[in-house]
Amino acid sequence: MIATEVDLIMFMRIDHIGIACHDLEEKIALFTELFDLTVVAREVNEEQGVKEAMLHIADGAGGGSYIQLLEPLSADSPVGKFLAKRGEGVHHVAFGVPDVGQAMEQVGSKGVRLLDERPRHGSMGSSIAFLHPKDVGGMLTELVQAADR
């Protein structure tokens, strides 16, 4: 789906909540046991400095909703620094959008700092981009365009 210039940025759903953790396998065991969730994808994303797993919650407009568990690949990666500073917990909230480039342009034009100049590779073949938490009420925000399904 291609948004036109007159369309406002459209959040179709919460795509995922990203949770920072020290030990991915331990937290996968916790979340699957507590909430009866299923791991549907795992990936090492070198560019983002993470080893991650997606636990499926539900399907919605243009894609699913997930919990994303994130273990840092190094101490100086975004998630590594977050763990050192704040400890384990909610790291970011990701919203599903129809067109990530368009969403970046629209939100960028409102003065929000984009942490990516162009969309990056995200989980399950998605295209992603991050917004600075200081410009979004303290919430690290991710825009996600799901892969064609």
Nearest to 16 by CA among 149, 100, 126: 126
Identify which of residues 72 and 98 has a Cβ nearer to ligand V0V in the complex: 72
Identify which of residues 94 and 131 has a Cβ nearer to Co ion in the complex: 94
Q: Closest-CB residue for Co ion?
A: 18
Smallest gap from Cβ 104 to Co ion, in A, equals: 15
Judged by CB under 5 A, does residue 18 bind Co ion? yes
- Among 67, 122, 143, 146, the residue binding ligand V0V under the rule CB under 6 A is 122
Count residues binding ligand V0V (CB under 6 A). Answer: 24
- Among 68, 106, 127, 145, the residue binding ligand V0V under the rule CB under 6 A is 68
Smallest gap from Cβ 5 to ligand V0V, in A, equals: 27
Q: How far apart are CA 91 and CA 18, in angstroms?
A: 5
CA–chain centroid gap for 147, Å, is 14
- Show Cβ contacts of residue 61 under 8 Å, excluding neighbours closer than 6 positions: 12, 13, 96
SS3 (DSSP) at 2: coil
- Among 19, 21, 94, 107, the residue binding ligand V0V under the rule CB under 6 A is 94
- Show Cβ contacts of residue 83 under 8 Å, excluding neighbours closer than 6 positions: 20, 21, 22, 72
Under the rule (CB under 5 A), what is the footprint of Co ion?
A: 18, 68, 94, 142
